[in-house]
Structures are given as structure tokens and as C-alpha cells.
Structure 1
Amino acid sequence: MSMTRAIVGARVSVMTPGKTSQDEQYLTGERYVQQQSWELVGSFEDLDVSAMDLDPWQRPDLAPWLTDRMHEWDAIVFTKIDRAFRSIRDAVKFAEWIKDSRKILVFTDDGIKLDYSNSNLGMYDQVLAELFLYLGSFFAQLEGMRFKKRALDGHRGLKKTNRWAGGQPPYGYQVISNPTGGKILAIDPVSSEAVRFAGRMVLQDKSLWEIATALTEAGFPTPARHVANQQNADSRSRRKTKVSDDWNQSSIGKILRSPATMGLKLEGRTAKEKRVVRGEDGLPIRMADALFSDEDWTSIQEKLTKRSRTKERTHGAAPLLGVAYCGGCQERLYRAVTTSKGIQYSYYRCIPMSGKPRCEGHTFKEAEVTTNLEEAISIHLADIPVMRRTFVPGEDHTAELDAVVKAMAEVREEKDLGLYDYPGGTEEYKGRLSALAAQRKILAALPHRPARWIEEPTGETYAQAYFRMTPDERRMLLLGADVKFYIKPSGQPWQYALVTPKEITSRVQTAGREIEPSGEQQEIPNPTYIMVDQK
């Protein structure tokens, strides 16, 4: 007779730093397996998983053992019924599945064992075990409902305060004890540096890909690693999923876009549902110090939004992608590299297309494109300074007034969405709006001088900056200034236009003299003053 193969499970509804309940559950189950002389073939841990919300087939770590890997085991061991179920319906469904699959279900601390692997066992014993299981699940469900109501009541009470209600804090913060009771958030010395590092790189116009690479190389802990370090959850080999130490663009974007990085309190289960929580005065509740200044936060959001709308590649792109354009069809040129007899040839070409103007597709040698672009820059951008935009804080209350006006608009939007449709909600809405209106009146009456941006030369012209930069930096310089380099189709005398986003003209410059472009007249800008929008 073959040895019974067993798996041991643990579940924790709310995982907090230092919690060891999952370890105790595992060790208890492991001892039981050893006492039965069974073979331990696997384990599962569902952490931060509520049995009230997810049945066994929906839990991330348990589900594979009930589907794809169900043939690998004969017995499943839990410590208590409430570690498996908080619902009578789930208990009945799971017990039926165990019976149909001819497996064994054990709850060590409750003394319950359903053994459907041996049809010779007494029916009376099985019926009693099932009865105790269903009774246990009934009380587990009642207990779970009490827990849930208590938690909701507690969260409702904490909602309007700056106290932390529980769970994992936002990346960049840690949970500490509040001297007056409860828990609050404080800036975490480790993860906060990663958030600020990423924010600084955004302000330097670095892509999320570049930021992810830099964070990984600098050794900053990923959100998953940071949580694992706090919980020591990855110290045992039985963990099924490896904690990643590689940052990705998605997590960086979510962190930097979240108002939580400004210390504001949020509510909502998913990223899309999360919104800022407001106090009785209608203003956002601040949980902790912000990781960025208001000016930097605004600039970061603007740059992230702008980057999400642009399709330009910033890493690994051709040196002139998005800069070089065909003068015939006005479309961008793409780099192509071919090798013949061991010699490499590189070109820029446009894609054949119909329409007006019609273009059959043209090819230009990369060396010629580069040479003529450098000549154009040395001639037309030699005296144009690169400008830097600097923020000068105002001696006023404009920012506070804008925040109040924005808060009033958001409160009204919340009312339109029906978020105040509950007993006492209308009074709460009126109270918030009245408080905001009073604050707006006070701020509007105060003397103020608005904050502003000033534009200062960097000390370099575009030509000087271009010729000292690397190919990638040169491309980003021209893209940032919206400079385009148009080349007339092959077979004609070399003609080019260096286009800047200022004055519009219909002339194309070539070889130091002006000529009219052939074919249908195209409006091509003449080189003029260029501004780089950077902080």
C-alpha cells in the first residue's frame, strides 16, 4: 500500500509586519503529517486573503492544488475550520469535492477528519465528521461576520482621522505607534529614498524604463521585497513565488502617481477605486509628511502625463528617430541597417504611402543625413540659447486657494456620483462645502503675488550643447525642443529644412541659399528661438 501524500496549508486574513500565525499553522500541520507517517509533498500559504471574500478555488496559493496539481496529493491538512472556510456554502462545496475526489480533509485543532479515500470506513463516523464540519463552518461564518462588522465600524470611525486603519502601508511609509493611541504612518527611511530617487529622475526627463533599471542597479528594494523583508516571508524554501528584486515600469508609475506619496489618506480596494479621503472641512486628510514638495509633485504628474501620451522611444532608438523627416511626404524616417560582403551599410528611409503629397518611399545614407544635420545645427542653432525654466515661489496663497477650489469641485463631483447617498450624507456634504466656501473667502481676501516660472539661459547654445552630447542625449535635446530635420527625396540636389516650433514659412534652405520646395507648397518653419521646457 502506497504512502499517503499530504499537503499542509495556512491562511491569514490580514498580514502585518511580525505576524507569525502562518508559521504556527504550518508547523502544526507538519507535526500531524509526521504523526500519521504520511509523506509531506507540498504546502500553500494564502496571506492577506479573506475567506469571506474568496472561496478555496479563488485563492492564489491554494487554487493550483485543487486544479492542475490535484493528482499530486491525497490529504489536505488545516489547523482549524476557520483557516479554510468562513462560509457554510464553501464548506459544503469543498467537502463534496473532497468526497468526489476520494481524498482526505483534516482539521488538526478541531479534531475533524473526513476520509473518503477508504470506502470501508464506517458511515456513522463520516456522518458525524461532516456534521461537526458544517457546525464548525456555521460558527466560523458568524464569527467572520462579526469580525467584518467590527472592522467596518472601526474603519468608519478612523476614516475621518489621520490614524492608520491597518494593512500594508503605501510604499515609502511605515506604520508606527501613535503616542495618543492606535497607529499612524511615518516616512520609511529606506523605501522613501527609492520614491524620491524615482521622482528626481522623472524631473530629469528620464523614462520609466531608465528609472526601473537605475533603481534595480542601485539596490533599492522593490515593493514586494520590502514587504518580504518586513515579514521575513521569503525565509523558507516552501514559498511558491520568488520575490522579484527587479523594478518594473508599471509599479513605478503607480507609486509616483498615487496621492499617497504626498502623505494623503486614500480609500478604495483597487487602484482605480482609490480616492482621497476628506475631513469635515472638505480638505484631504494628511496621514504623514509628503515625500515631495507641491511644486515637484505637480511637475512629476505633468511629466508622467506627457510621457504617457508620447510614443517616442528613449532607449535603444535610432539616433535620429523622431528628428529626421522626409521632405516629400513629411513623414518620419526610420533607420535600416544592411550587411553586404562583410560591410555594414545604414540608411534612413520613409515608408511608401499614398495621399497628398504622394511619396514612393525614399532612402538617404545615414552618414549624409548626420553630416547635413550637424551642418544645419552649426549654422542655424549656433546663437540660440538653451533655456531652463525655474520656479519662483509666490508670496501668496494661490496654491492654497487653488487646492480649496479643486476640493470644492471634487466634493460636488462626489455628490453627483451618489457618494453621499446614505443617512446623514446630505448634511455631511453641506457641511464640507460650507467649510470650503468659508475658507475660500478668507484666502481670496488675503494679499498675494502669484508664483511664476522664469526662463534663464543655461550658458550654452543649442549647437554647443548638441556637439558635446552623446547620440541619445542629442536626440532627446532635439525632441524636447520639437526640432525636425526635413530632407528632400533622393535624386534631387541636397535640400534640407531645420524646423523649429516658432515662426512658419514656406522656404527651404540649402547650401546657404533659399529655394522653393518643388511640388505642392508645404508650410515649413524657419529656424528661430527655441525653448527647452525643463526644470
Structure 2
Amino acid sequence: MDRGDPTYGYKTVPARNHVDGCDWHACDCPRTEGLQIDFDGEVHAYAAEIISRLLRSDSRNSVCLDFGRRESLAPSDYKRQARGNKLPEKRAEWCPETLRNIVTSPTIRGLMSHNGEIVYGEDGMWVRVGPAMVDDSQAAELLVRMEQKPRTRTDGAAPLLDVAFCDCGGKLHLWQAKRKIKGGEKLYRNYRCQYANKGQCDAGAITAEDLESLVSSYVQLPTMLGEIEVYANHLVPGEDHTEEIEQRREALDKLTERLGMVPAGPAMDAVLRAMGEHTESMAQLEKLPQRAAEWVSVPTGETYAERCPTRLGRTWAPAHGRSLHAGCLP
């Protein structure tokens, strides 16, 4: 929960004095002073979907396009509507940065934050203010994924972008132009080297239909690419407990300061007990392995021929090409 409006998927509710074992969601624990957060009905389902899809490697752009087609209100418009304000004629659009802000917020871990930074209590520990949508491992994986630059592929994108390359090493870009002919217009589609217009490559253009049919035949013919198993990139989350260790070290420092200010008796016993718990926890964390996150290539159990429907004999449209690039080629 950021001080102010909670992150998309959450709402502010009266605080409760939660008992051990409570998950903080729609519970009947005794009411207390102040506010906390809880899941916000329908938009909680949208936020959970965003998290789930990004964890399974869906791109931010594809999620944004899908939410736009479904006419789901973007967070800014949802807040306007929740406050009873009239929505603008031009609706806010979903964008990759919006998704990034949602999934990198400490709120989805049920923690209080300020300007995106976790807020610590007097005991040096994170302040919990609501139910979590992800565990620490999933939160760490999302942070790694958000470091990747989002890529936009629309329905008009070149089918063989990042698949076809010139002999000089440059990417082949799709060039399209309409020319008036007798009876109407004709669409010309060719692939050209990205450096051709810069005077750095003298390679000629190749007809898009010929190149796309060639790639399709390589996918379909069993003696060529068709029998090769498709591999997919899979993120193996790293394991780094530095932040947790530092958190407990700071908590110990604060408790040490308090120790000299409390009188002997129950209060001092409570401080000493907390110090012992932090020391033991820190020792256990320091024994755990440290490793960086990495991407590995894993088999999918499908061949290229099984993954792609036969396209030989079809007229290649951008939509077909996009399906080939996204679903068949790495």
C-alpha cells in the first residue's frame, strides 16, 4: 500500500487486528483504528491476471492490447469512475509502464510503501497492511522480467522480423506500398535489408510471398525444420537474500538502541527475545545459496511441424505472418 491511493487491484478498508494464521482477506478479525488494504473485487481479478500472464512470459504489449480489446478500464479511468467522476471521451490506454508499476509495487506483497519504497516499522521489519498477491519468489521473478525491454508486435508487424537476415547481417524489414493499376490498387510487399536505404548494403529486395513461403516450407517439410523440437526460453529466478539480511541487521540496530531505553522487566525481555529471533533468522539466511537469475532454453515437447498449421497454398496476410512468428519461430 502506497501512502495515498493503493495499487490497482486493491482498495482501502478499515483496519483489523489480525490473529495468527489470518490471510488478511475479507476476514472477521476484531476492528481496530486506522486503515489497511484488501482486494478490490473485479479489478483484483484483472491484476491477478496481469501477474499470472507476465509470470508465464506473455509480453506486456500483448496484455495491454488484450485488455484494450476487452475494453477493460485502465487504472487511471477506473479511479475516476470509482470516485464518481465522469470518464473522458477519450479513454486512457493500457501501456507497458502501467503494468510495470503494478507488478513492481510492494503492495502486491501486502506491504506498506511510500513512493515505491517499502516502509519499515519501529522494529525494523516491513509493515504489512493487507493480503499478498505474490510470494517473495514471484515478486523477485517479476522484477527480473520487468528489466527486459518490452517489444511491440501489432497485427501489421512484419512476419519475419528477427527471423530473416541479410548476408551482411542486417535484419530484413518488410516494405509495403500500394500502386494504382487498372481495376484498382495493388499491394506490393518486399523484404529489404535494414541498411539498404542507408547506402551500407547493395542487396536487392526479395518478394515477401516467396520468402514467407520458403520459411513455411522449412517448417512443414519433415526432412527440414519440421522434425526439430521447439525450444522456449524459461526464466530461472535467482536467489538473493541480501535485502532480507540487511533488513534484519537494521532491525537489530534499532532494537539495540531501544534496549538502553527500556527498564528491566517484561519490556526488556520482549526486546531481547526479538533480538534473538532476528539473530537466528539472519544466521539461517546467510547459510542459504546466492545465485543470479538466468534464462535457459527448455524443450516444449512439440516439433515445428506440430506447432504450425500448414500454410502452403495460402495467401500470406500480416495476421498469418504474425501467427507464424509468434507461434512457430523462436
* TM-score class, shorter: 0.5 to 0.7
Would the aligned equivalents of 2:3 and 2:114 in 1 still touch at CA under 8 Å? no
SS at match of 1:319: coil
Inter-CA distance 197–352: structure 2 relative to 1 (3 Å threshold) = same
More deviation in 457-466 or 203-212?
A: 203-212
Matches within 5 A, 1:80-159: none
1:171 aligns with 2:8: yes
SS at match of 2:37: strand
Match of 1:386 in 2: 230
Aligned length: 280
1:258 aligns with 2:98: no
Match of 2:262 in 1: none
SS at match of 2:326: helix
Instruction: Find 1:212's aligned residue among 64, 79, 91.
Output: 64
1:231 aligns with 2:87: no
Q: Deviations over 1:448-495 (max 9, x none)?
A: xxxx9998754311232133694213212466x3xxxxxxxxxxxxxx
Instruction: Find 1:336's aligned residue among 163, 171, 175.
Output: 175
Would the aligned equivalents of 2:61 and 2:152 in 1 still touch at CA under 8 Å? no
Alignment-mate amino acid for residue 303 of structure 1: R
Alignment-mate amino acid for residue 93 of structure 2: W
Q: Distance in 1 between matches of 2:303 and 2:36?
A: 51
Q: CA deviation at 1:166?
A: 6.3
Matches within 5 A, 1:444-463: 457-463=299-305
Match of 2:205 in 1: 363
Higher relative contact order (CA 8 A, sep 6+): 2
SS at match of 2:212: helix
Match of 1:321 in 2: 161
Q: Distance in 2 between matches of 1:312 and 1:227?
A: 27
1:284 aligns with 2:126: yes
Inter-CA distance 408–279: structure 2 relative to 1 (3 Å threshold) = farther
Q: Distance in 2 between matches of 1:410 and 1:477?
A: 44
Inter-CA distance 462–317: structure 2 relative to 1 (3 Å threshold) = same
Would the aligned equivalents of 1:282 and 1:433 in 2 still touch at CA under 8 Å? no
Q: CA deviation at 1:212?
A: 2.5
Q: CA deviation at 1:227?
A: 2.6
Q: CA deviation at 1:211?
A: 2.1
Q: CA deviation at 1:391?
A: 9.1
Q: Distance in 2 between matches of 1:225 and 1:219?
A: 11
Instruction: Find 1:248's aligned residue among 86, 91, 94.
Output: 94
Q: CA deviation at 1:445?
A: 6.2
Q: Distance in 2 between matches of 1:216 and 1:353?
A: 35
Q: CA deviation at 1:364?
A: 0.9
Q: CA deviation at 1:173?
A: 1.1
Q: Distance in 2 between matches of 1:282 and 1:314?
A: 47
* Larger Rg over CA atoms: 1
Q: Deviations over 1:37-80 (max 9, x none)?
A: xxxxxxxxxxxxxxxxxxxxxxxxxxxxxxxxxxxxxxxxxxxx
SS at match of 1:190: helix
Q: Which runs of no fewer than 5 residues in structure 2 stay unpaired?
A: 16-30, 259-270, 312-319
Would the aligned equivalents of 1:261 and 1:290 in 2 still touch at CA under 8 Å? yes
Q: Distance in 1 between matches of 2:75 and 2:189?
A: 43
1:474 aligns with 2:324: yes
Q: Deviations over 1:12-45 (max 9, x none)?
A: xxxxxxxxxxxxxxxxxxxxxxxxxxxxxxxxxx
Inter-CA distance 214–352: structure 2 relative to 1 (3 Å threshold) = closer
Q: Distance in 2 between matches of 1:444 and 1:478?
A: 44
1:196 aligns with 2:48: yes
Would the aligned equivalents of 1:192 and 1:291 in 2 still touch at CA under 8 Å? no
Inter-CA distance 352–299: structure 2 relative to 1 (3 Å threshold) = same
Q: Distance in 2 between matches of 1:333 and 1:248?
A: 30
Q: Deviations over 1:66-101 (max 9, x none)?
A: xxxxxxxxxxxxxxxxxxxxxxxxxxxxxxxxxxxx
SS at match of 2:307: helix
Alignment-mate amino acid for residue 218 of structure 2: A
Alignment-mate amino acid for residue 173 of structure 2: Y
Q: Distance in 2 between matches of 1:376 and 1:408?
A: 53
Match of 1:60 in 2: none
Q: CA deviation at 1:280?
A: 4.8
Match of 1:345 in 2: 188
Q: CA deviation at 1:301?
A: 3.1
More deviation in 463-472 or 259-268?
A: 463-472
Inter-CA distance 195–318: structure 2 relative to 1 (3 Å threshold) = same
Q: Distance in 1 between matches of 2:275 and 2:161?
A: 51
Would the aligned equivalents of 1:177 and 1:183 in 2 still touch at CA under 8 Å? yes
Would the aligned equivalents of 2:229 and 2:302 in 1 still touch at CA under 8 Å? yes
Would the aligned equivalents of 1:199 and 1:256 in 2 still touch at CA under 8 Å? yes
Would the aligned equivalents of 1:333 and 1:349 in 2 still touch at CA under 8 Å? yes
Q: CA deviation at 1:349?
A: 0.7
Inter-CA distance 325–231: structure 2 relative to 1 (3 Å threshold) = same
* TM-score, structure 1 as length reference: 0.44
Backbone CA RMSD of aligned residues: 4.3
Q: Distance in 1 between matches of 2:2 and 2:295?
A: 40
1:222 aligns with 2:74: yes
Q: CA deviation at 1:427?
A: 4.3
The alignment-based identity, stated in percent, is 23
Inter-CA distance 167–359: structure 2 relative to 1 (3 Å threshold) = closer
Q: Which runs of no fewer than 5 residues in structure 1 stay unpaired?
A: 1-163, 235-240, 269-273, 415-419, 482-535
